[in-house]
Amino acid sequence: MEGRFETFTVLINRISRSVRKIKNQEMAGYQLRSAHISCLYYLYAVGRLTATELCERCEEDKATVSRALDFLEENGYLLYKTKSDKHYRSVITLTEKGKAAGKQIADKIDRVLEEVSVGLTDEERAAFYRALSIISDNLEHVSKA
């Protein structure tokens, strides 16, 4: 029982750190950070989203997504299709530059997912994600108590 907490927290932190490191290494040439990559990935995958929808998909706070979107807009990766007085309600789409970066990100994610799945059967991977989802939901519930 004593080792469960240490094992769980250490492994989760290692996974999170590795994901951030991969994101940062792969996008260094674009001068993009982790939050930028998440925004580009979801915009590429879905096509068009609002800032509010991006916050939900990226699991990032509004300020982080807002700063990321400002950077991406200023650097020609995205544009706002609708002009709203509330920027977070405006529909966002990728420019050609953004689509190229989004494709590179999606391709890298696919390669990484293939590599990290080596040695797991489809059933084992499904069970892992199911268990991780339950743990995530339970932790969220406990943290609100």
**Residue 108: closest CA among 40, 61, 14:** 40
Residue type, 122: D
pLDDT of residue 2: 62
User: Which of 31-35, 69-73, 113-117 has the weakest average pLDDT?
Assistant: 31-35
The pTM (predicted TM-score) of the whole model is 0.79
For residues 145 and 143, what is the distance between their CA atoms, to the nearest angstrom?
6
HSE (CB half, 13 Å, CA atoms) of 38? 20
State how beta strands 48-49 and 92-94 pair. antiparallel
Instruction: Please state the rounded mean pLDDT for residues 87-113.
Output: 90
What does 85-142 look like in DSSP terms, one character per residue?
SSGGGS-EEE-HHHHHHHHHHHHHHHHHHHHHTTT--HHHHHHHHHHHHHHHHHHHHH
Query: How sure is the predictor about 106, in pLDDT bands with cuts at 50, 70 and 90?
Result: very high
pLDDT of residue 87: 67
**Residue 50: closest CA among 29, 32, 69:** 69
Q: Using the 8-state DSSP alphabet, how is residue 80 labeled?
A: E
pLDDT of residue 83: 66
Residues paired with 93 in a beta bridge: 48, 79
